[in-house]
Amino acid sequence: MRHCINCCIQLSPDDVQTQQVSCRGGSHHGRQECPVCKAENKIVFRVDGKQMNLLAVLEVRADGNESWGGFLRFKKGKRCSLIFGLIIMTLVMASYILSGVHQELLISSPFHYGAFPSNPSLMEGENPSDAKEHHHQSSVNNISYMKDYPSIKLIINSITSRIEFTTRQLPDVEDLKKQELHMFSVIPHKFLPNSKSPCWYEEFTGRNTTDPYLTNSYVLYSKRFRSTFDTLRKAFWGHLSHAHGKHFRLRCLPHFYIIGQPKCGTTDLYDRLRLHPEVKFSAIKEPHWWTRKRFGIVRLRDGLRDRYPVEDYLDLFDLAAHQIHQGLQASAKEPSKMNRIIIGEASASTMWDNNAWTLFYDNGTDGEPPFLTQDFIHAFQPDAKLIVMLRDPVERLYSDYLYFASSNKSADDFHEKVTEALQLFENCMLDYSLRACVYNNTLNNAMPVRLQVGLYAVYLLDWLTVFNKEQFLILRLEDHASNVKDTMHRVFQFLSLGPLSEKQEALMTKSPASNTRRPEDRNLGPMLPVTQRLLQDFYGPFNARLAQVLADEAFLWRKT
């Protein structure tokens, strides 16, 4: 069995190009014929356009039995030609390697950038041994990306030079009513005085055979909620109030909202807080009604569905309303006695997600939304209590990426997506205000990572235009992770909840953390130090403004 190797080398004064065409045992589909020698068994040497036959045929036996004697049997001229050709090929390859065209051939520096802060993702369950396992590979990748740092830093400098925290113009209540006529017709202006949660009685006109949740959009569009509503159905008929031949049901809104942020520990806070006997949450942990469902959004990229009416949202609080109703009935002889049950809702999108505004509201404010979620909540519940859980925005973004990315997750991929998002954000900032870019639906959908979610100061300042600072409890995940008991006591005090027994408190504070980083994501290791540094540069001015507003330097996240 013989193999032939056809090789053409072409040199010109301006460049050196090597083409290699090989065949095994005859012609093969997909192989490209040499444009110079036309698939003949030649090695052609071309100088200034003149073709020279450097070597006629080189035969190599596959069985390897032939010795170097075969080489010596070549004529002296052919041996010299072969050696000369090999020398030329070696020089060409050496030139190619030394030119550094392929980054993978570069030798990495043995020095590490120790000045970069360490990754604080251990609070999400990152094992120190896992971090060591990825240290060497991360260092190599980090060095290759260091050359990008100056150019990306210029982009960040361009963004930070345009940051301006301006006070938004508040809409008039009448303008709010025009946007949500049905909502304002359903929710009353006053609530029952002896309930801590905002509740009221509403006439139920259905018959005994009527399914009260037949048209509820949460049931229609999501199979996973059907069992929840089966429970609601069974309890519904036993909790109606009867007066003057009519049926009445108790309707309630939340007393408090956990409004954000995603990947900041809101699920863990929710799981612990619902163990308190005085706290009742919505039947679904995150209804996302104020930000998405009332606009008919499940996933914005999937388009719009029918809008979820406010009645569908109120249905989610029926189990809590049943308990409040029982308490009110039991204390009917003491109308001044306050029912202590409070209702909570924990959609982590409430604080920041206003992506739907461009689809429903006229734009008359230079790209800034004329109405925000908090405007409508405040219109009905000016005394609502608001809990916010935050974390270092740099770590939040990486956690967000690991949780939501579907494939090809890596520190390298994260770095590339971060740089792309920074470039897109700068492009917006060149033409629009900070607020316009933060709430820009097109930009938010285009960015490959949710960079805007970590701009806490922008969102909080906009919420503070309608709610008082005393109505907020701002927590840090880092503090919660290190001292759960202290965090929960702060929440109890903020919500004016009664004390727990030792057994109840132990159950609440000693249970494992919820929604921690998945093992497969932990195995990917931390982000690259250069990525961390870029994000710290980007989020720094926003953290500084947040720390100033809250008068707490812990929100600078200098040490997480």
Range 184-189 contact pairs with CB under 8 angstroms and sequence separation of 24 or more: 184/379, 186/310, 186/311, 186/314, 187/253, 187/310, 187/380
CB 19 within 8 A of CB 10: yes
Give the pLDDT confidence of 89-122 residue by residue, as tens digits. 776 565 544 444 333 322 233 222 233 233 334 3
C-alpha 464/C-alpha 468 separation (Å) is: 6
226 alpha-carbon distance from chain centroid: 28
Residues of the chain with pLDDT under 50: 1-74, 96-136, 560
SS (H, E, C) 322-334: HHHHHHHHHCCCC
Q: Give the model's pLDDT for residue 509.
A: 87
Q: Give the model's pLDDT for residue 144.
A: 63
- Taking alpha carbons only, the member of 51, 69, 53 closest to residue 61 is 69
Give the pLDDT confidence of 341-368 residue by residue, as tens digits. 999 999 999 999 999 888 888 766 688 9
Q: Give the model's pLDDT for residue 483.
A: 95
Q: Give the model's pLDDT for residue 339.
A: 84
> Are β-strands 43-47 and 50-55 bridged in parallel, bridged antiparallel, or unpaired?
antiparallel
Q: pTM of the entire structure? A: 0.75
Q: Give the model's pLDDT for residue 299.
A: 74
Give the pLDDT confidence of 507-516 residue by residue, as tens digits. 998 888 877 7
Q: Give the model's pLDDT for residue 497.
A: 96
